[in-house]
A and B are shown apart, each in its own frame.
Chain A
Amino acid sequence: MKILLKLSLPTILASLLVACGGSSNLATSFTQQTAVSYRVTLTNTTAAQPFSPAAIVLHDGSWSTFNLGDPASTELEMLAESGDNSALLAAAENMAGVFNAASGTGDIGPGESESIEVEVTESQTAILSLSLVSMLVNTNDAIAALNRIDISALNPNESMRVNALSYDTGTEANTETAATMPGPAAAGGAQEGFNAARDDVRDSVFVHAGVVTATDGLTTSALSSIHRWDHPAIQIRVERLN
C-alpha cells in the first residue's frame, strides 16, 4: 500500500478528485482497481538446514540483491551471517526500481513451506522481477537466493516454479564452528551472527560449495553429514493471484 501511493498518488488523486468530487474513500477505490497480488511459496528442500525469514523483493529489471562475482552489500552480509533480513528490506524499500518488499514470518524448517503475498500495481506487472534471499542458518554465510527472475509473463491465475541456487556471500570464513554459526547445530557455542570483518577466501558472492562437516574430517566443525545439501536448497512457486 505504501509503495502504491508513493509511486502514483499525484496522478490518481487528480483523476479521482475530478471524477468523484473529493470522495473520502480514495485509497480504497484505487487499491481495488489496480493492486495485483503475487503469492510466493518457499519449500525448504534440505535435510537439516533451517532457513531464516525470507526477504522478498518485487522490482523492475534494473535492481538486484547482489551481483555474482561482486562483493556483497553490508545489508546482505547481515542477512547471510545472522539471518536478520531487516536491514536488507529497509534498504530495498528506499531504492529506485523497487516496487514492494516483504518478510517471511519466521524460520522455515527442513521440509516445511511458507507462503508470502506481495502486491504491486497493474502497470508494474509488465516489467516485474522477483528477488528472494534466505540464510541457511547452520552455515557461516550461505544463502539461498533468486536474483532478478523475470515474472512479467505471468497472467492472472498463472504460476511458475523456480529452483534457487545457494550462494556463499564470501563475507565470513567457512569455519563451521559453534562460535560462528547462528543456527541450532551450533547450540552451546557463541553462535555469533553478523561480524563486519570479511575473512573468506575472497570478498565476493559465488556459488556455494557446500559444507565439509566433522563427519567428513573438518574437526572444528559443529556440523555432521546431515547438514550437507545440494542445489536447489529451496523450491519456489510464484502465483499471480489476480
Chain B
Amino acid sequence: MLINHLGRPATQLSDTTTNSSSTTSTEKNNILKRFIAKSNKYLIASTLSALAPMASAVDFDITIDNITRGLYFTPIAVVAHAANVNLFVSGVSASTELQTMAKTGEIEDLARVLTSSGATMDNNPAAGLLAPGAAATSTLDTINATANTKLSIVAMVLPSNDGFVGLNAVDIPTEPGTYTFYANAYDAGTEANDELRGGGGLNTPGFPVPGPLNPVLGTGGAGVTNTIEGFVHIHRGNLGDTNTAGGISDINSAVQRWLNPVARITVTVR
C-alpha cells in the first residue's frame, strides 16, 4: 500500500502505485513526483488532492491475491467509502461489526453498517473461502456515489482467532491504469490467540474450522495464551507447533505461519 495506517512508507516501495500505461509526459511527471515524495508521500498526497478536486466517478476492478503459504481468507468485504468512514483504526478497539468479521468470518453486519453510511460494495468475490495462492475479483462503480473515494478491504484469515487481512482507506486512483497495493494482516484484539479449534461464534473461544482446514490442523493443543489485547494492531503471526495431537497450539508452525504482507490488491481503473 502507498501508506500504511501509521502513515509510514510501505515496506516495499514497489508497492508504490504504478500506472502500467505510463507513456504520456503527464503520467511520467506524476511518477516522478511520487519518487520525489517517497519519504513524505502522505503530505504530498494531501497537497495534490487539495489543489485538484477529485475526479468524480470511478469504474474499477479489484483483484485480491492470497499470497500466503497456508492461510485462507473468509468472505471478503470490498468497500468504496467516504473519507470520514473507517472500518478500523490501529490502536483503537474494534467495532462490534469488525469483531464479528474477525472472529466468525461473517461480513453481513459490517455490510449493513456500511450500507447505511452510503458505501459502495461488491462483497464475497470468492463466493466463500479464498485459498492460499488463489485470487478473486470484485467490480465497483462509484458513478452514483462520488463521495466514495476510499477503498478498504477486510476478511478474516484462518487459522487465527481474530486475525484479518486489511487494506485501510487507500485513495482510489482516478486515472485509467493498473495499480498495486499490498495488505497486511491485523489482529482485531478481541479474542485471546489461543490457537485452538473452536465453534467460531462471536462469544465462543477458538476459531472456526471449515472443510479445507480440517485435515491440515492439529488437535488437542493446550492453548497459547488467555490474554485479549483490546485494540486493533498488526498481527504478531501464528506461533503454532509441530505436534498434531497435542502441544501448545492446533496450528501447524511449518505451514500456517506468515510474514506480512498477506494479500496483493490490484486495482484496474477503466
Contact = CB atoms under 8 A, between A and B. Distances in A.
Interface of A: 61, 68-69, 146-150, 152-154, 158, 160-166, 168, 174, 201-202, 204, 206-210, 212, 216-219, 230-232
Given A209-B69, A212-B253, A218-B242, A161 B13 contact: yes
A153 B242 contact: no
A21 B176 CA distance: 49
B14 A149 contact: yes
B250 interface: no
B254 to A, nearest CB: 6
Contacts of B12: 162-165, 231-232
B257 A210 contact: yes
B69 A206 contact: yes
A76 to B, nearest CB: 16
Nearest to B239: A216
14 contacts: A148-B14, A150-B18, A150-B22, A153-B34, A162-B12, A165-B261, A174-B254, A206-B67, A207-B68, A207-B69, A217-B241, A218-B253, A231-B12, A231-B259
B257 A162 contact: no
Nearest to B238: A209
Contacts of A153: 28, 31-32, 34-35
A56 B262 CA distance: 26
A202 B31 CA distance: 36
Given A152-B28, A161-B13, A162-B12, A201 B241 contact: no
B225 interface: no
Contacts of A154: 35
B7 interface: no
A174 B35 CA distance: 37
A158 B35 CA distance: 10
A61 B258 CA distance: 30
B38 interface: yes
Contacts of A232: 11-12
A173 B241 CA distance: 17
B86 interface: no
Contacts of A212: 242, 253-254, 257
B13 A160 contact: yes
Interface of B is mostly: loop
A160 B69 contact: no
Given A153-B35, A174-B254, A232-B11, 13 more contacts: A147-B14, A149-B13, A161-B13, A164-B12, A201-B132, A207-B67, A207-B68, A207-B69, A207-B261, A209-B258, A210-B259, A212-B253, A216-B253
B133 A206 contact: yes
- Of A164, A174, A204, A217, most B-chain CB atoms within 10 Å: A217
Contact of A68 (B18, B65, B70, B242): B65
Interface string B35-66: 10010000000000000000000000000010
Nearest to B263: A207
Contacts of B68: 206-207, 209
B14 A201 contact: no
Contacts of A146: 14
Interface of A is mostly: loop
Nearest to B255: A201
Given A206-B68, A206-B69, A209-B258, A217 B14 contact: no
Contacts of B103: none
Contacts of A160: 13, 35, 38
The 7 A-B pairs at the shortest CB distance, nearest first, are namely A209-B69, A153-B32, A162-B13, A207-B67, A153-B31, A209-B257, A209-B258
A210 B68 CA distance: 11
B6 to A, nearest CB: 16
B13 A209 contact: no
A152 B20 CA distance: 12
A173 to B, nearest CB: 9
- Of B22, B254, B260, most A-chain CB atoms within 10 Å: B254
B146 to A, nearest CB: 30
Given A202-B132, A231-B11, A209 B67 contact: no
- Of B22, B133, B262, most A-chain CB atoms within 10 Å: B133
Contacts of A149: 13-14
Nearest to A162: B13
Contact of A230 (B14, B20, B259): B259
Interface string B212-233: 0000000000000000000000
Given A69-B65, A69-B135, A217-B242, A207 B13 contact: no
B197 interface: no
